[in-house]
Structure 1
Amino acid sequence: MSFSKINFWIEGDISTTRIVSRLLNDVSGEGNCDTRLLSTVGWSSLVSGVNIFCRSCDPRYAWLPTYLREHGIPYAYYLDDNFWKITGSGELARYYKSAEVVMSLDAFVENASFVITHNKTFAEFINRRFPDVKCELLPVPFDTSLIRKIAKKLAVKPARDAVVGYAGGYKEEEFALLQEVVEQLGKERPEIRFEFIGGVSDELRSLNNVQWFPGFSDYSQFLEFKMARNWSVGLAPLMESQFNASKTNNKFREYGGCGISAIYSNTTPYVECVVSERSGLLVDNNVADWVEAIKRLVDNPQLRETIKEESFKYVELNHSHESIIPAWREALDRISHDSERLMSSRIRFNYVKHFHLSGMSRVAKRMEGATATSIYGFVLKGKLKSLLNRAPVRKLIKAFAFVALIAAGLYLLKAGIM
C-alpha cells in the first residue's frame, strides 16, 4: 500500500458518507481516514494523503477540480447516484437539476483520475457522457463486523406478531404503491402491522395499521434499532427509471446484513443480486403482486429463514469490509501525486479559495497564475494596509511623525544659532 492517509471530502453528513467513511478507515488503517467537509478544504490537507471527493457538486467549488489538476493534486471522485437523471420535483431534485450544479458536477467528474461507482449501468452512462473519464467499478461496502457487535448486544426476542417494515427515505411513487398495498392488507389481514423508519407519507402515517419512527443521524444506531424491531418482512420497492437503475443495492445489503427476509422490486439493481425464492422475493411493481408476496412471506417461516441465511451469506461474501478492502486498496494505490508543498502554494490556494467564495472569480484567476514573489508582495501589501487601517496604529504613526518634525525643527534651529 503506497498511501498512509486518505482525505475523504464530503458536502454533508448522510448515510452514504458514513458507510464509505467506515470502509475507508479500514482500508487505510484505523484513524488514517480524515473525513472533512468540503468547506474546510485547505492545501496542507490536500497534500497530506490520497484525496477522494464524495458526491461533490457545490457550484461555489466548481473551480476546484481544474485547480487541483493544474497543480498536481490527483483525486478520485465517488458517485453512487445519477444526478444527471434525477427525478421528482422536490427541493433536492430541483437543486441537482440546476445548471450551475450540473456544471460543477461535470467539472469534478471530468478532472478526476477516476470515478468510483458500483453499478455497471451507471458506469456505462458516465463513459457515454465523458468518453475520456475512467470508471472504477468497486464493490459497495457493508460492515458485517458492526452487525455482529450489535447482535451480541441485543437480547433474543420471541417472535412477534407479523410486522412488515420499511427503512429509508421518502420516495413519492414508491410510497403511492405502498399506500395501496398497506390499505388492502389492512382489510384482508388486519393482524399484519407495518412500521416505517425515516421516510413516510402523511397518508400512510394516518393508517391504523402503521407505526412511524424518525430516522437516525448515527448509522450504527440506525442499524441497531432496525434489528431490534425484529421484523418478519422488509420492503424495498423501487420504480423503474434511469435514475433508479444507477443506484446501488443498498436495501438488499442492509436487510440481508441485518438478517431480515425481504421483498424487492423486480428491477435493477436488485435483479443483479437477489435470487428470488432464495435470498429474497422479486416482484413486479403492482399492488396485487406485492400484497401476495407479503402474505406469502408472513405465512411461511421456513422461506423466511432460508432468505435470511442466503442473503446474509451473499452480503458477507460480496460486501463485507474484509472481502472488498483489497480491491479498494489496489484502486487507491494508483493515485499518486507530485504536488507543490511550498509555502507560496498554500498561501495561493487560501487566497484563490477566498476570492472564489467571495464572488471575485477574476481576482481568483489572477492569483492562480501569480508567481511566488507576486504572492508574497500581495500578502505584505494587504498586511500593511490592514495595519494602517487600525486606529491605534494611525495615531502612533501621527505621533511619531509629529515628534520627528519637532526634533528636525530643533536640530535646524540649533544648527542656525551655531
Structure 2
Amino acid sequence: MKIFYWVADYSGCGYYRCLLPGAELANRGHDVMADGSTVPKEVHSGECDVVVGQRVCNEAASITWQKFARAGHTKLVFETDDLLTEVDPSNRIAHAFYNSEMVRRYRENLAVADVVTVTTPRLAEHAREINPTAAIHVLPNQIPAWLLEHERPASPDPDLVTIGWRGGLSHQRDFGELAKSLRAFLLHPRNRGVAEFHAMGAPYHERVASNHGRVRWTGWHEAVGDFLRAVDFDLAVIPLRPSIFNESKSDLALVEMSALGIPSIVSVWPGSPYTAHSAAGPVGCFAGDWAEQLRYLVDNPEAREQLGKEAREWAAGRTVEGNAWRWEQAYGDEG
C-alpha cells in the first residue's frame, strides 16, 4: 500500500498514532510518507492508496479533506485518540483550541471517512455515533520493542527510591487526585532521605515541593524516544480523575512504564483505562489508597522488582512490531 500520514503533531500523539506504526509498515514493504503541513502532489492526484488524517479539524485542512472525500479516489482514514468533543475546561489550551468551530469540522471530517481508527472501545462508540457506515478499528497504542531491553539510567542519588510521574500541563486535575497524599508521604519523617519525587514533562514537582520532601524535575525531550530513555523511576504514579474525557483515554502511560520494568500505582474507577488491567493480572500495583501503596512499594524493593518483571512480561505483547498487522488490516478494510 502507498500510505500518507497527515500528522497533526510530532509529539506523543503523532509519534504513537502515525510515525511509529508508519515506520513499522515501511519495514514491512509499504510505501509510507508523513507530513504535518504539505500534502504531496501524488496524494492530490489520487495516486495514494490511503490517506491517514490525524484528527483533521483546521479550516484549510478540512477543505482539502472534504475535497478528497468528494473525489473518492483515495481511502480516507480518520485517526483520533482523544474524545475531543469533551475536553475538560481545566485543560485551558486544548479547551480553547477545540472550540465549537473546530469540533464541528472534526465531526464533519470524521463523518466522511471510509475508515476510522481509535485507541479505545469508548472512542469507537463515539466515532460510530458520528459515522455509522465507516469501518471502525480499535488500535491500542503500542510501544517500540527496544523498550523491553532498555536498561534504565541510574538516578542522581541511588540511595533514594524514585517515585516518578510523566505528563503534560493538561493533567492539572488528574495530578490533583494524587498531590495531597504524595506531598504528605514525602514530608513524613520516615520517608525523608528514603524517597524522592521526579516529575518529567510539566513541572508538577512544584505542587508537592516542601522544605523537607525531596523533589526534582526534568522537562520534555525533543523526541519521544529520548524521553523514554531518560526515565529513571523505581515506581510510577499514574493518577487519572474520573471524567467523560478520561473514560476514552488509552492505557499508554501504563504500557510505557511496564515496558521499562517499572511497577505503577494507578487510578482505578469505573471507566478508567486501568481498571480492566487491575482485574486481568499483576501488571503493576493498583491504587486504592495512594499513601498505603506508596509505603508498600517504597519499603519493599523485592516487590518492586517482581512487579516490574511481571509488568515487562505483560508489555511484551504490546509492541508495534508484533501488532503492525492491526494497522494493515484497518487500512485494507473495504468496509
TM-score range, shorter chain: 0.7 to 0.9
Aligned pairs for 1:220-299 within 5 A:
220-226=225-231, 229=232, 231-267=233-269, 268-275=272-279, 278-284=282-288, 289-299=289-299
Deviation, structure 1 residue 180: 0.9
Superposition CA RMSD, Å? 2.5
**1:216 maps to which residue?**
221
Most deviating of 258-267 and 27-36:
27-36
User: What secondary structure, in the 3-state scheme, does the structure 2 residue paired with 1:263 have?
Assistant: strand
In structure 2, the CA distance between the partners of 1:11 and 1:118, relative to structure 1 (3 Å rule), is closer
Paired position in structure 1 for 2:7: 10
Shift of 1:238: 0.4
Letter in 1 for 2:7: I
Deviations 1:189-238, CA, capped at 9 Å, x for gaps: 22321000011347426434211111112111101101xx2x22101000
The count of corresponding residues between Structure 1 and Structure 2 is 321
What's the counterpart of residue 40 of structure 1? 38
Runs of 5+ unmatched residues, structure 1: 337-418
Equivalent residue of 1:122, what SS? helix
Matches within 5 A, 1:11-410: 11-20=8-17, 21-29=19-27, 32-37=31-36, 39-46=37-44, 47-72=47-72, 73-89=74-90, 90-96=92-98, 98-148=99-149, 150-151=150-151, 160-170=159-169, 171-188=171-188, 189-190=191-192, 191-201=194-204, 203-204=206-207, 206-208=209-211, 209-226=214-231, 229=232, 231-267=233-269, 268-275=272-279, 278-284=282-288, 289-317=289-317, 319-334=318-333
Amino acid at match of 1:324: N
Decide whether the 8 Å contact of 2:205 with 2:216 is kept in 1: no
Pairwise CA distance, 1:49? 4.0
SS in 1 for 2:274: coil
Q: Within 1, Cα distance between the matches of 2:249 and 2:84?
A: 11
Contact residue 205 and residue 211 of structure 1 kept, 8 A: no
Question: Residue deviations 1:303-343, cap 9 Å, x none?
Answer: 212221221122111x112321222212212369xxxxxxx
Could you list the structure 1 runs, at least 4 aligned residues long, displaced by more than 4 angstroms after superposition.
Answer: 153-159
Higher alpha-carbon Rg = 1
SS state at 1:53 partner: strand
Distance in 1 between the 2:32 and 2:278 partners? Answer: 32
Does the 8 Å CA contact 1:27/1:325 hold for their aligned counterparts? yes
- TM-fit CA distance, 1:10: 1.1
Residue range with higher mean Cα deviation, 102-111 or 155-164: 155-164
* 1:76-95 deviation per Cα after TM superposition (whole angstroms, max 9, x unaligned): 11111000011024122111
Residues 335 and 225 of structure 1: CA distance in aligned 2, closer, same or farther (over 3 Å): farther
> Which position in structure 2 is the counterpart of 1:375?
none
More helix by share: 1
User: 1:48-70 CA deviation, whole Å, 9 max, x = no partner?
Assistant: 34211112211232222321121
Aligned-residue identity in percent: 21
- The structural deviation recorded for 1:25 is 1.2
Q: Aligned equivalents of 1:277 and 1:141: distance in 2?
A: 19
Distance 2:116 2:89 in 1: 25
Measured in 2, the distance between the counterparts of 1:92 and 1:327 equals: 29
Tell me, in whole angstroms, the C-alpha distance in 2 between the residues paired with 1:122 and 1:272.
16
The two structures have a TM-score, normalised by structure 1, of 0.71
Alpha-carbon separation, structure 1, partners of 2:234 and 2:179 = 19
1:25, 1:32 within 8 Å by CA — same for their partners in 2?
A: no
**2-structure distance, mates of 1:241, 1:193:** 29
Q: Any conservation in 2 of the 1:65–1:107 contact (CA below 8 Å)?
A: no
